[in-house]
Amino acid sequence: MNTIFFKLNGKEVSTKSDANKPLLWVLRDEFNLMGTKYGCGIGQCGACTVHLNGNAVRSCLLPISQLQGEEITTIEGLSAKGDHVVQKAWKEVDVPQCGYCQAGQIMTASAFLKQNPDPTIDEINNAMHGNICRCAAYHRIRKAVMLAAKK
């Protein structure tokens, strides 16, 4: 069992977890970061989305062994006070219904907007297509991404 060192929400951390354990469960079990959610475990729903070196990835498919020296940001580390422009837009639009998928949605949207700060609607639809919202709050997710892009 090797020790994996990586950066988590700006802090150097390490874990001796089973090499195959997905980041999702390492975050939840070992670091008590419950914002990243389990939805399907097979990369299909996006509830577990985090940033790996700034890119949106599905943490349920990311074995911890691959993270040596990498940088991970979770919803808890997206901003110090919940005031990232995407989080603010989410509040302004009042996006959540049950809210369970929303951390994943926000992580996908924030990584996307960083790469494409002025997206078209089609680009937004494409970028967000991998994140399921069972409550179907899609119209508000779209609206919030547009609002965040404007700011």
Residue 113 within binding range of other proteins, rule CB under 8 A: no
Query: Could you tell which of ligand FES, other proteins, none binds residue 58, using a CB distance below 5 to 8 A set by kind?
Result: ligand FES
Q: Which long-range contacts (CB under 8 A, 24 or more apart) does 49-52 make?
A: 49/103, 49/104, 49/105, 49/107, 49/108, 49/131, 50/23, 50/74, 50/75, 50/107, 51/107, 51/110, 51/111
Identified binder of other proteins from the candidate list 97, 123, 146, 147, rule CB under 8 A: 97
Beta bridge partners of 58: 49
Identified binder of ligand FES from the candidate list 19, 34, 98, 121, rule CB under 6 A: 98
Return the range that interacts with ligand FES (CB under 6 A); candidates 7-15, 32-40, 63-71, 119-127.
32-40
Least distance between ligand FES and beta carbon 24 (Å)? 6
